[in-house]
């Protein structure tokens, strides 16, 4: 059993250790947080990337062939020719609409590539969408606005891009801060 001075000394040492640990962890996390850049050392293999759905990461793969469908959609075949297509668990697709931003993909045939993008489940297999050439050098995917939010929006009109009933000034919908919602003034009392 510890004497009174020893218990006091042990508790003050424990308190000091807790304060020191808290201050070092605070000093490490304070300040602006930088997002890590994708580098060659952070690229995942196809098998590892397939285990991380809905995550933006860098994928390292060998392109065996570039396949183009009649509608203009292009695929980078990243599975070896000895593997049947049904067993290939990863695909990289480039939509027809992004052909101008992506450029010629035939130059990637028989090359090792690193592509940054969000791994998503596509037709029962994991895959990446190659929508811009900058993805091949660690850049982000092409930005695609949500069509439901920007429906019938024209930047030169006075209309709001989103119809919010609370912002309508008149009509059947309740307006934001209309006369009935306002606080009575001192004269009205």
Report the pLDDT averaged over residues 8-25.
44
pLDDT for 60-89, tens place per residue? 999 999 999 999 999 999 999 999 988 889
Residue 92 has pLDDT above 90, yes or no: yes
Per the domain annotation, does 121 fall within a domain? Answer: yes
* pTM beyond 0.95: no
Per the domain annotation, does 86 fall within a domain? Answer: yes
Residue 103 has pLDDT above 80, yes or no: yes
Number of domains in the chain: 1
Provide the token pair at 24: 């070092």
CA distance 50 to 145: 26
Residue 94 has pLDDT above 70, yes or no: yes
**pLDDT band at 95; cut points 50, 70, 90:** very high
Per the domain annotation, does 160 fall within a domain? Answer: no
Report the pLDDT averaged over residues 22-48.
54
Per the domain annotation, does 123 fall within a domain? Answer: yes
Span of 11-25, 94-108, 160-174 with lowest mean pLDDT = 11-25
Q: Quick one: three-class SS letters along 75-96?
A: EEECCCCCCCHHHCCEEEEECH
Give the model's pLDDT for residue 123.
79
Per the domain annotation, does 85 fall within a domain? Answer: yes
For residue 96, give its domain range. Answer: 40-137
Is the distance from CB of 165 to CB of 173 less than 8 angstroms? yes
Question: CATH number of the domain that 50 lies in?
Answer: 2.40.50.140
pLDDT for 152-179, tens place per residue? 666 777 766 666 666 666 555 455 555 5
Per the domain annotation, does 90 fall within a domain? Answer: yes
Per the domain annotation, does 11 fall within a domain? Answer: no
Provide the token pair at 126: 């994991």
Q: Where are the alpha helices (DSSP H) in the chain?
A: 4-29, 46-49, 99-102
Choice between 121 and 18, residue whose per-residue pLDDT is larger: 121
Per the domain annotation, does 126 fall within a domain? Answer: yes
> What burial class does residue 108 get, using C-beta atoms within 10 Å of its C-beta: 0-12 exposed, 13-18 middle, 19+ buried?
buried
Q: Where are the alpha helices (DSSP H) in 98-169?
A: 99-102
Give the model's pLDDT for residue 58.
94
């Amino acid at each position: 059993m510890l004497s009174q001075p020893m218990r006091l000394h042990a508790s003050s040492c424990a308190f000091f250790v807790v304060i020191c640990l808290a201050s070092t962890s605070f000093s490490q996390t304070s300040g602006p947080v930088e997002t890590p850049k994708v580098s060659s050392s952070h690229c995942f293999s196809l098998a590892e990337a397939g285990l991380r759905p809905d995550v933006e990461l860098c994928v390292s793969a060998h392109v065996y062939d570039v396949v183009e469908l009649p509608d203009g959609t292009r695929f980078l075949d990243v599975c070896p020719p000895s593997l049947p297509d049904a067993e290939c668990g990863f695909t990289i697709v480039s939509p027809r609409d992004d052909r101008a931003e992506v450029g010629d993909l035939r130059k990637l045939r028989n090359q090792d590539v690193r592509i940054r993008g969000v791994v998503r489940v596509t037709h029962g297999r994991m895959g990446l969408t190659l929508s811009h050439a900058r993805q091949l050098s660690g850049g982000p995917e092409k930005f695609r606005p949500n069509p439901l939010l920007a429906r019938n929006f024209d930047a030169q009109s006075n209309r709001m891009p989103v119809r919010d009933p609370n912002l309508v000034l008149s009509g059947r919908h309740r307006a934001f801060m209309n006369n009935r919602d306002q606080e009575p003034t001192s004269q009205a009392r």
